[in-house]
Amino acid sequence: MTNLRSFLCLFLSVVFLLDGSKAFQQTASRWSNIGRGILGSPSISKSSATSPDLSVSSFLDVYPGTNPIPDKEQNGSRFSVKDSLGKIVRRSAVALVTLALFSNPAFAAKKVAKETVEHLHTGQKIANFFMQFGLPKWAVLSAISAMPVVELRGAIPVGIWMGMPLYQVFLICVLGNMAPIIPILFILKNEYLKKLMSPILKRAEKKASGLGVGSLEKQWVSLAAFVGIPLPGTGAWTGAMGAFLLGMPTALAISSIFAGVLAAGTIMSAITLAGRTGGLIAISVLLAFAAKELMFKDSDIAKQSFLEANPYWDQSTVPVNTYKNKAPFNGKVVSTKRIVGPKATGETCHIIIDHKGDFPFWEGQSWGVIPPGVREKDGKPHSVRLYSIASSRYGDDMSGRTGSLCVRRATYWDPVLKADDPAKKGICSNFLCDTRTGDDVQMTGPAGKVMLLPEEDPKTDYIMVATGTGIAPYRGFIRRLFVEDTPAAQAYKGQAWLFLGVANSDALLYDDEWQEIKKEYPDQFRLDYALSREQTNKAGGKMYIQDKVEEYADEIFDKLENGAHIYFCGLKGMMPGIQDMLKKVAESKGLDYDDWLKGLKAKKQWHVEVY
């Protein structure tokens, strides 16, 4: 009977908590995203793409200036951190009262003790260790819940085993688990301590990688779920490090982790009070939620179709210069993240900017950025710099409210001093790479129609050649063709072939994304790298982008003959080498290079954007 009561209350609490909270519903609907964080492997497919969903009403006043725009085309739901946190607090309280009323802690304590006689739980071993020094129970419990890995999930069963009342156990464990979180977030701001913690941070980054996707509110929800669903590798410690690495504002990170800790505490209390069998039921409920979301995702995930022309390939409405230099758009930085390894030549950052849906663009276009301040030489405002947009029109969170840039920090190497001269560093790229969440960015555009995808014939092959940040527009193309659920993706039957040239493997950009897509679409997506400092070309020299393209020259010429489009993007310096190579190949095939090129240009198959 006691068991039955425990199972019942366990079931009610878990379902109540997960189903009742909007935040968790939203999180669960993108389980694949959380899975990235938990399992470290994103699942990318046209149909498992995350959906547009979140219109912001407030960010606990941390992120003001974002208008609440209930987007009917998206899914009509409104999200606010304040509401979600409030709901999680209320649901946890109700679930705990339910537990306290219907369960039998004394029975559970006996059961926990009995179940662990032979195989002593780690938390209990730690508790025994502390108790031999005569520490009071509450101190032992708070120390255990403050520990990494063990955390509140390990401490709650110990508290119940000690025979303490549930409300005391819960309160002490929540406070204990939260206690190190605030110092961690501040400690990581110190460069020296950050370096010291770098091995742990690297692990945390891997575990929490999925948290980086999307706008601030999405990050809040993912982080709360990451902390709140007690699975191996998740928790408040890893969550705090993940939040730091994402550059989340501290107050936002703390509120999200707090919501997660409350949820984890409720789930753990329920599991502990219901015993081992109850634990299995709780896990089954969690898995059922996940399975439901994975299996029925199409029914509640909106497709990426709300920013399409009619028909989707009609380019007559492509927006151009919506915002001009005199009246620029004020974007807000969602996150800025270094995306190259330590041995990369230079620094490249991925910057997500919130435009609230007011700054639509198409894949292949650029945004202008006006850096703050004035020019030293004449005191006039800085001029605008262009940056190719690195996301699709739907943004990385697929809400249609953000866009991303891929920016290389321009530095000046003084050959005499043999060092960087900070006085001559690039103004705008340094401004962008130094931005933090919530910073303002003055923007113009969107600019350019040279790099658009001609989508009318879905069998068109695309050959995309990039050096460095020239990858940016192709990321938008590839997400549109393979990651999102767009009409373009559904129709696409051609092959997209990406060539990327960088100095070494640490300088590769978005490699994890390409590998996932390659795995999912091996026939439709091809990928080739030219790593100039790691590979050699057939003549034994450095492998530059033209050498890699030349390896497949016959295939590329055939594809172009059959209507493929070829794109070049990146540093200006890439084009002479490419053109020389193409000329050589054309001549070896008995073609007149100039005529051949003229033909491609006339048929709009040739696209170049270099800077």
Give the footprint of ligand FAD on this chain (CB under 6 A). Answer: 366, 385-388, 406-408, 410-412, 424-430, 469, 472, 609, 611
CA distance 391 to 573: 25
CA distance 181 to 253: 10
CA distance 307 to 309: 7
- Least Å from the CB of residue 15 to ligand FAD: 47
482 is written with which tokens? 């393979």
195 is written with which tokens? 């370096």
> Cα dist. 506→53, 300, 342, 343, 405 in Å?
34, 39, 7, 6, 19
Q: With respect to ligand FAD, which residue has the nearer C-beta, 270 or 351?
A: 351
Is 29 one of the annotated active-site residues of the chain? no
Q: With respect to ligand FAD, which residue has the nearer C-beta, 51 or 365?
A: 365
Is 611 one of the annotated active-site residues of the chain? yes
Q: What angle do CA 388, 394, 400 make, to 5 degrees?
A: 115
Q: With respect to ligand FAD, which residue has the nearer C-beta, 309 or 386?
A: 386
Concatenated DSSP letters of 166-186 = HHHHHHHHHHHHHTTHHHHHH
Is 433 one of the annotated active-site residues of the chain? no
HSE (side-chain half, CA atoms, 13 Å) at 85: 19
Q: With respect to ligand FAD, which residue has the nearer C-beta, 269 or 442?
A: 442
Q: With respect to ligand FAD, which residue has the nearer C-beta, 156 or 432?
A: 432
Q: With respect to ligand FAD, which residue has the nearer C-beta, 474 or 596?
A: 474
Beta strands 366-370; 385-388: pairing state: antiparallel
CA distance 527 to 508: 12
Q: With respect to ligand FAD, which residue has the nearer C-beta, 513 or 551?
A: 513
Asked, as a colleague might, if the bond just before 446 is cis with ω within 30 of 0, I would say: yes
Beta strands 413-414; 496-502: pairing state: unpaired
Per the CB < 8 A criterion, the answer to whether 40 and 206 are in contact is yes
- Least Å from the CB of residue 307 to ligand FAD: 21
133 is written with which tokens? 């020094």
CA distance 590 to 431: 50
Contact partners, residue 457, CB within 8 Å, separation at least 6: 563
CA distance 481 to 520: 12
Concatenated DSSP letters of 449-489 = STT----SSTT--EEEEEEGGGGHHHHHHHIIIIIS--HHH
Per the CB < 8 A criterion, the answer to whether 367 and 403 are in contact is yes
- Least Å from the CB of residue 421 to ligand FAD: 8
CA distance 183 to 225: 21
HSE (side-chain half, CA atoms, 13 Å) at 475: 23
Sign for the CA dihedral angle at 60, 63, 65, 67 comes to: negative
- Least Å from the CB of residue 180 to ligand FAD: 38
- Least Å from the CB of residue 359 to ligand FAD: 17
Q: With respect to ligand FAD, which residue has the nearer C-beta, 135 or 386?
A: 386
- Least Å from the CB of residue 503 to ligand FAD: 15
- Least Å from the CB of residue 413 to ligand FAD: 9
Q: With respect to ligand FAD, which residue has the nearer C-beta, 297 or 385?
A: 385
Which one is catalytic: 63, 323, 387, 510?
Answer: 387
- Least Å from the CB of residue 452 to ligand FAD: 13
Which one is catalytic: 29, 92, 388, 532?
Answer: 388
Determine the residue with CB nearest ligand FAD. 426
Is 387 one of the annotated active-site residues of the chain? yes
Is 609 one of the annotated active-site residues of the chain? yes
CA distance 10 to 357: 42
Per the CB < 8 A criterion, the answer to whether 109 and 141 are in contact is no
- Least Å from the CB of residue 285 to ligand FAD: 46
Active site residues: 387-388, 569, 609, 611
